[in-house]
Each structure stands twice: as C-alpha cells, then as structure tokens.
A and B are shown apart, each in its own frame.
Chain A
Amino acid sequence: MELLIASAVGVLTAAGIYMVLRLRTFPVIIGTSLLSYAVNVFLFASGRLAMDAPPVLRDGAERYTDPLPQALVLTAIVISFGMTAVVVIIALGSWLSADDDLVDRPAEPRETAQ
C-alpha cells in the first residue's frame, strides 16, 4: 500500500514535471493537472494510511483514519479544478489572439534606442 501510493505520487510528479517543461500550452496544462493529482494523493497520504477504517471519531471506535487530510484534499481538488478551468480559458484566448500556442513569448522585435 505504502509502496503503491509513494510510487504513484512519484510517477505522477515526474510525468507532470516533464509535461510542464514542454513548449506548448496543451501539454503544459496536462502537466499541471498531473501535478495536482500527485499532490492530491500526497495530501491524502499525509495523515498516514489506514485501510478499512472510518474517518470519523466515535465513542468506542478502535481505529480510524485521519479525517483532516480528506478535507484538505477536497479543498485542493476544488481549487485545482477551478484553476485548471481558468488556465484553459486563458490559454485558449491567447491561442485565438496570437495564432500559436507557444508558452514562451516569441523574441520581440527589439527596438533599441538610437
């Protein structure tokens, strides 16, 4: 279980970073999504992993899983989902107005002082 989660976080992060370093907006956005999945899994695991345990404290409960990371993950999911939507729209706008989807700016025609 630990190995599975850890390698999932690692693989997702590595793939995300690789994609983020691409030149065009589409792969970069995919990359940020992968990174946000990685961070969600990571947050989820930050309260220690407990199998088949309820997240809520009850009188007499023998074991439970920490409910807080689950709340944090929910917040993080909502925020990263919203942010991804925003970046898709802005990237679309940039693509439509500039006719290319490169992330970095083309070299500006450099006007130097005469």
Chain B
Amino acid sequence: MSHWIITPVVLPAMLAAILVLMVREHIVVQRALSMAGALALTVISAGLFWQASDGTITLYQLGNWPAPFGIVLVADRLSTLMLLLTTVLAPLVLLYAMGSGWDLRGRHFHPLFQFQLMGILGAFLTGDAFNLFVFFEVLLIASYGLMIHSGGRQRLRAGTQYVLYNLLGSTLFLFALGTIYAQTGTLNMADLAGRVAELDPAASAGIRVAAVLLLMVFAIKAAVLPLHFWLPDSYAHAPAPVAALFAIMTKVGAYGIIRVYTLVFPPDLEITQGLFDVWLMPAALLTLALGMIGVLGAARIDRLVAFSVIGSMGLLLASVSLFTPEGIAAALYYAIHSTLATAALFLLVDQIRDGRGAAGPMLVHGRPIAGGALIAGMFFVAAIAMTGLPPLSGFLGKLLILDAALSSPLVWWVWAVVLSGSLVAVVGFSRAGSLIFWKAHQEGPDIGEADPQTEPEVEDETVQPDSTKGPVAPRPVTPMVAIGGLIALLVALTVLAGPVNRALTATAAQLFAPAPYIELVLTTPGKKIKDDTHGDEASSHDTGAEVEAETGEDH
C-alpha cells in the first residue's frame, strides 16, 4: 500500500505544528517552510492526479483496518482533480500573502494556512462520511483564525457571524450523520451506497430526511440561496489572501454534493427522486440571479466580487443539479475556472483597496491608483473571465453548461437565467471598473479625499499608513506575480480546454459508474478482524475498530 495518498493530510499537519511550535519567532523560516510545504503538496497532488488519470482508483486504509471498520482515503479522478486545484492555488496565494506583507499583520498566518490546507485536502480525499465532518471542522476552525487575521472592528464582526453560521452548519451536519447512521448502521460512503440502495422505499422517511439535511449542509458551504447569508460579509472583510483561498472552500460544498449524490444517493435512486430537479435546480438558479443582482447593486468592490462568487456557485450548482455526466463535467470545468478567477479578483481587489487611499473599496470616484495600468489590465482580464465573456475560460465553461442543460426539461429557465445573469454581471463589472480606473483619471486625483462623505470611517485598519496619503512608492512585484500566475492559469485553462474537458468527461463517467469504487473500498482486505459471534452486526468505524482490537487482536 502506497502511503502517498495520506501525505496531503499529514504533511500540512506536521508542518503547521513545526511552524507554530518551533519557528514561531522566525518569519523568514516560516515563510520558507510554508512555501516549501505548499510546493511539495503541488508536486504530490500532481503525482496523485497523474496516477488516477488512467482511471485507477487508489485506496488507503488508515491503520490497515479494512472498510467499513476503518477509515479509508480514496484517490479517484475527482478527488485528485480537486487536490490538484487546491494545491495549485495555495502557493500562489501564499506568494501574494508574503509579497504584500499580509502574513505579518497578525500572528500565526502560516500555521493556520497549513491547517486550512490539511482540512481541505482531507475533505477531498476521505471516503468516510464522519471523517468528512472532521475534516470540515479542521478546515473551518483554521478558517476562523484566518478570517479574523490581523483583526479590526469590521472583520471581527463579520468573523463572529461567519463562525456562528458555520457552527450551526456543523450541528446540522451531525444531525444528518446521526440520522444516516440510525437508518443504515454505517458511515463509510461506499458501504452506505449499498445499504441505501437496499432500503425499502416505503419506509424511507428517515433516510430521505438525512439526504435533505446533508444537502443543506453542503448548500451552506456552497452558499446556495436561502443559506448564502454568511458569504458576502465574510469574503468582503476577510484578508485578501484568505478570501482568495476561500475561493476553494465553496467548492468543497460543491464537491460534497457531487460525491455524496453520485455515490450514496445516485440520481436514479428511487427514494431521493426530485431532490435535484425540484429543489436544487431552482435554488441554484435563484442563487445565480441573486449573485448577479448583488454584483450590480454592490457599493463596494469587495462585496461585488463576493456576490460574483455567489453567482458563480449558482451557475456551478445549476450544472451539477442536471446530474448528467455532461452536466457534472461542465460543472467541474467551471469550478476550476471560477476558483482561479475569484482568487485573482480578490487579490486584485486588495491591490485596488490599498492603492486608492481614502476611497478604499467604495465604488466612488477616487484618486487613480499608482501603477494602475497593470492592475486595470489584470482586473479587465479577470472580470472578463468571471463574467464569462469570450475568449477566456469563463465563456467556455458557461458554454459547456448551456450545452449540458439542453437535455433538461428546465432548459429554457437555465438559458434565460444564465444569459441574463451574464449580462447583468457584465454591466456590474464594467461599472465598477470604469468608476475605479477611468473616472479617476477624468475627474482628478483627489476627489475621494476632498469629499468627506465618501470617506469610509476607518474601514480597513490594515491599509498601510503611507498608502493613504500622496502618490506612492513603487508597488512590490511579488503580489503582481501571484496575480499574474492565476491569470496565466486561466489562460492555460482556456488554451488547453480540449484535453482538460476530455479528462473531466472521464471524471464524470467514473462518478456515474461507482461500482469499481465501491468494490475496491469494500473488498480490499486489511488487518484481520477476529470473527466473533456478533461480528456481522458491528458495522463500525475508526474507534469501533479500536474497540474490536481490544477484544483480542494485536495492533
């Protein structure tokens, strides 16, 4: 059994411990280690992705305990794809955090960053529902720390809301898991798939409740319409590199939906009929509409980008809720695209916020940004990608989704909402872009400062004091390199759309044929468990396995 699969979980965990315990006073060492760790993760994930790219599914049994007794990690195409996406994003975000000095504005940025990575990567890899909950909590608790990194009144207030909302989400997750366990007696996802399929549809109230509860949990993470309230404030007030990393967090919710509802509650399962076409699809379309309207109505550039995240999640989930292989493949392409585009936009927003002095993030006439041409150009490209105009990947992603929607009975709804949403988003982004970059030059440099009403009251305590007055020293290069890297990835995603799309189609096909996955997880032998009289009753789990061990097995 190869141990590489567990390294994306173990490496950041160990590294975070080293960072916080041994080198906490040495920022240079911290930066070097953190970056080295992130790059190593990229390499490992690329290796795992390559390994899974021919369709092999690799299983890792923790402590060598066989499923369903032990926890398993499973690396299939979808998991490794999300792994690779996360670990490509992470070094760039880290580079930006170092270049812009965000990691110096509070304590423990790097350890928290590593813990966050551990949680995200673990959530993508695990094949066990309760373990998924644990990894969700790991990534959440790290995100709480990152969210309020460097403090400030607005940020703490937004952080409190964010934490409370997610705390309620976690409670819901536990209720869902409890219901599932009560109905099926297992929490291993592959085992669940078999047992849910055997349930009698006539007596399935419990498992249906569980399916809906679980969907709500993932919908909270993915910011679907009635459950999106946590997102705009949190993302707008989070430190820029953190907001950029959070771009992958909403995708964790989408991943959860894709994984659980192709494996455990597959689309042709009788007891969960109607969950997607009746409930998720309209919710996703409303989310898309709301996000785009928010883009148009936002008074601040950071909230504008946050709403565009909601919109893109709506589009992504609309495609997911088609639950056809084409829909999932299109959704995955769009997920990669929107992660990169949102991250780039959040980092650009930070540059804009810092560069505009008193006007800060407000969408008002401010003074021009020093070195604004480059930022303006990048904002232009990222906004084109985000709104889905040709020629960038957003357009291709949207096209794939529209194409996949053709088979759905709701096709006209999807087309209407997606296309008019795009129009609204284009208007919103061009309004913001022209206010920030063009009008500034037209109306002179200091309107933002001259008008006291436009001055935000200590909006962002983290703005460097020297950047609030007078034209500025040349900007550091590293942040621009990081943003440039993200945009280069977007271009690469566009140019390589053909091969990428082939890989994603294969991924979707693998998801819709879960039999090899289930067979691999359930039939791979592990450590031998002694057969006792009640052995078949104990559909058990990690600690269950340990209890078994105490009854006479050696470890």
B52-95 Cβ-contact flags toward A at 8 Å (1 or 0): 00000000000000000000000000000000000000000000
B171, A46: Cβ atoms closer than 8 Å? no
In A52-107, the 8 Å CB interface with B consists of 55-61, 64, 67-69, 71-72, 74-76, 79-80, 82-84, 86-87, 90-91, 93-94, 97-98, 103-105
* Residue numbers in B under 8 Å from A91 (CB-CB): 160
Per a CB cutoff under 8 Å, which of A32, A57, A72 touches B167? A32
B532, A86: Cβ atoms closer than 8 Å? no
A39 in the interface, Cβ–Cβ < 8 Å?
yes
A28, B178: Cβ atoms closer than 8 Å? no
A38 to B432, CA, bound (A): 47
Instruction: State how many angstroms separate the Cβ of A75 from the closest Cβ of chain B.
Output: 7
B148, A67: Cβ atoms closer than 8 Å? no
The chain A residue sitting closest to B166, CB to CB, is A83
Q: A69-B181, A103-B160 are in contact. Are A109 and B457 (CB under 8 A)?
A: yes
B456, A111: Cβ atoms closer than 8 Å? yes
The chain B residue sitting closest to A43, CB to CB, is B178
Number of A-B contacts (CB under 8 A): 154
Interface centre among A29, A68, A114 (most CB of B within 10 A): A68
Interface of A is mostly: helix
A83, B170: Cβ atoms closer than 8 Å? yes
B362, A57: Cβ atoms closer than 8 Å? no
* Residue numbers in A under 8 Å from B164 (CB-CB): 20, 25, 28-29, 32, 87, 103
Instruction: State how many angstroms separate the Cβ of A49 from the closest Cβ of chain B.
Output: 11
A97 to B540, CA, bound (A): 47
B520-541 Cβ-contact flags toward A at 8 Å (1 or 0): 0000000000001111011111
B363, A113: Cβ atoms closer than 8 Å? yes
A69 to B541, CA, bound (A): 10
Instruction: State how many angstroms separate the Cβ of A93 from the closest Cβ of chain B.
Output: 5
* Residue numbers in A under 8 Å from B532 (CB-CB): 57-59
Q: A39-B175, A39-B178, A72-B181 are in contact. Are A94 and B170 (CB under 8 A)?
A: no
The chain A residue sitting closest to B453, CB to CB, is A111
A88 to B538, CA, bound (A): 39
A93, B156: Cβ atoms closer than 8 Å? yes
Q: A35-B171, A57-B534, A79-B134 are in contact. Are A42 and B542 (CB under 8 A)?
A: no
Q: A71-B544, A90-B163, A103-B164 are in contact. Are A111 and B299 (CB under 8 A)?
A: yes
Interface residues on B, range: 35 or more
B148, A93: Cβ atoms closer than 8 Å? yes
Instruction: State how many angstroms separate the Cβ of B177 from the closest Cβ of chain A.
Output: 7
Q: A57-B532, A83-B141, A97-B152 are in contact. Are A71 and B543 (CB under 8 A)?
A: yes
The chain A residue sitting closest to B176, CB to CB, is A39
* Residue numbers in B under 8 Å from A74 (CB-CB): 543
Residue tally, chain A, CB below 8 Å to B: 53
Interface of B is mostly: helix
A13 to B246, CA, bound (A): 30
**Contact stretch, chosen from B2-10, B215-223, B258-266, B546-554:** B546-554
The chain A residue sitting closest to B456, CB to CB, is A111
B149-179 Cβ-contact flags toward A at 8 Å (1 or 0): 0011110111111011001101100110111
Per a CB cutoff under 8 Å, which of B161, B177, B299, B540 touches A103? B161
Interface centre among B148, B167, B170, B362 (most CB of A within 10 A): B167
* Residue numbers in A under 8 Å from B350 (CB-CB): none
The chain B residue sitting closest to A106, CB to CB, is B157
Instruction: State how many angstroms separate the Cβ of B183 from the closest Cβ of chain A.
Output: 9
The chain B residue sitting closest to A64, CB to CB, is B534
B551, A56: Cβ atoms closer than 8 Å? yes
* Residue numbers in A under 8 Å from B362 (CB-CB): 111
A90, B156: Cβ atoms closer than 8 Å? yes
Per a CB cutoff under 8 Å, which of A61, A97, A103, A114 touches B365? A114
A47-B182, A97-B151 known, 12 other contacts, Cβ within 8 Å: A36-B171, A46-B179, A64-B534, A68-B539, A71-B547, A72-B541, A79-B134, A82-B141, A93-B156, A94-B157, A97-B153, A114-B451
Listed from nearest, the 10 A-B pairs whose CB atoms lie closest are: A71-B543, A94-B156, A46-B182, A46-B178, A39-B174, A43-B178, A68-B544, A97-B153, A94-B160, A35-B171
Interface of B toward A, CB cutoff 8 Å: 130, 134, 137, 140-141, 144, 148, 151-154, 156-161, 163-164, 167-168, 170-171, 174-175, 177-179, 181-182, 233, 299, 362-365, 435, 451, 453-454, 456-457, 532-535, 537-544, 547-548, 550-551
